Amino acid sequence: MTTIGVFGSGAVGLRVARHLAWSGVADRLVIGCRRPARLKGVVEQFDLDVQVVEPGPMPLVDVAVLCLPSGGHAGLAEEAVARGAHVVSVSDSIADIDALLALDAVAVKAGRSIAVGAAYSPGLSCLLAKHVGSLFDVVEEIHVARSGTGGPACARQLHRARTGSSLDWWDGDWRRRAGGSGRELVWFPDPLGALDCYRGALPDARLLAPEFPGVDRVTARIAGTRRDRLTAMLPMMRPPHADGGPGGIRVEVRGRRGLTRRTEVLGVLDDPSAASAAVAAVTAERLAMGSQPAGAWGLARVEDTVPWLSALALRGVRAAAYEGVDQGVPAISPG
């Protein structure tokens, strides 16, 4: 019997639970919630055994999916691994990402996997970068841009990220730059279109750079309006929307194929909370099947991205290639 725990019952957590109930991979679900009574109607819709638990000791599960607000994910992951569970974290906080990656040796020793940043961006952005990167002989640059937010917790984290220092991989070293700088006009899939994007405390580069040896530059930016920039230094004056979609991801990869320098771009348009839930659920299913390596890693570690992207397409999350981007510029011959 496979038991999967989903901890957090917000915009992403409940969607993850629905995906897992629909997929048939889990025989039993454990859902962590601060107010279990409010899930009574939801649980009755599931055609499998479901237990709703309040915050407390980590229950015995095969896979623990952490859909809680950013902060403290590493402590919960360590507890889950100690109790024999694989872990999926949807946090997009650099602090959480670093703390989770630091558990790599613990996870390897326990023979368990910790999937880090398995959401929209990072998460889906990492899968897309790995997928399009396989088309190159040498990957030189990766640039990620995102727009939109998921539930309230995601909106609050993104509000903090706008003023935090960006983390870029630049010519073989990590560089910190001020949040809100580096304005760049980025074309997202329609109907979003062209949006101004800026640096922020985004963790995509931390997960992507180690998976592409020799890559020169990896950056991430977030779309923002003039009002977003002006209010980023202030506390959120009103509660965020229950769901901040629709949103977009744009992943641009530059490199060499043979003697030609090329650029490939993939884009996604979806509600961030829905897409994050699909990515987290597919990741949990893969870990439950025991086919992934032990340790702490991001989704750019995945060797064959096609089954993952196919599973996401069945859930309505589809990527599209930008046409007319590739210029086919001849590269300088190594000789």
Omega before 191 within 30 of 0, i.e. cis: yes
Strands 28-32 and 113-115: unpaired
Query: How sure is the predictor about 35, in pLDDT bands with cuts at 50, 70 and 90?
Result: confident
Location of each CATH 3.30.360.10 domain in the chain:
124-272+319-330
Q: What is the mean pLDDT of residues 37-64?
A: 86
Average pLDDT, the chain: 90
Give pLDDT, residue 72: 93
Q: Could you read off the pLDDT of 296-320 as tens digits, one per residue?
A: 999 999 999 999 999 999 999 999 8
Q: What is the mean pLDDT of residues 244-248?
A: 81
Which ranges in the chain belong to alpha helices (H)? Answer: 13-23, 40-43, 73-82, 94-101, 104-110, 124-133, 152-163, 204-208, 226-231, 272-288, 306-314
Query: How sure is the predictor about 64, in pLDDT bands with cuts at 50, 70 and 90?
Result: very high
Give pLDDT, residue 107: 97
2 C-beta neighbours (distance < 10 Å), count: 16
Location of each CATH 3.40.50.720 domain in the chain:
3-119+275-312
With both helix axes pointing from N to C terminus, report the angle between 124-133 and 306-314 in degrees, rounded to the nearest 10. Answer: 130
Measure the CA–CA gap between 30 and 4, rounded to whole angstroms. Answer: 6
Query: How sure is the predictor about 156, in pLDDT bands with cuts at 50, 70 and 90?
Result: confident
Query: How sure is the predictor about 237, in pLDDT bands with cuts at 50, 70 and 90?
Result: low
Higher pLDDT, 179 or 250: 250
Query: How sure is the predictor about 151, in pLDDT bands with cuts at 50, 70 and 90?
Result: confident
Q: What is the mean pLDDT of residues 65-72?
A: 94
Contact indicator for 120, 199 with CB cutoff of 8 Å: no
Fold designation for 124-272+319-330: Dihydrodipicolinate Reductase; domain 2 (3.30.360)
Higher pLDDT, 150 or 207: 207
Q: Could you read off the pLDDT of 94-136 as tens digits, one per residue?
A: 999 999 999 999 999 999 999 999 999 999 999 999 999 999 9
Give pLDDT, residue 103: 98
At the fourth CATH level, the homologous superfamily of domain 3-119+275-312 is: NAD(P)-binding Rossmann-like Domain (3.40.50.720)
DSSP bridge partners of 166 = 177
Least confident of 156-160, 162-166, 271-275, 328-332: 328-332
**SS3 per residue for 281-328:** HHHHHHHHCCCCCCEEECHHHCCCCHHHHHHHHHCCCCCEECCCCCCC
Q: What is the pTM of this model?
A: 0.92
Give pLDDT, residue 335: 34
Q: What is the mean pLDDT of residues 265-280?
A: 94
Query: How sure is the predictor about 324, in pLDDT bands with cuts at 50, 70 and 90?
Result: low
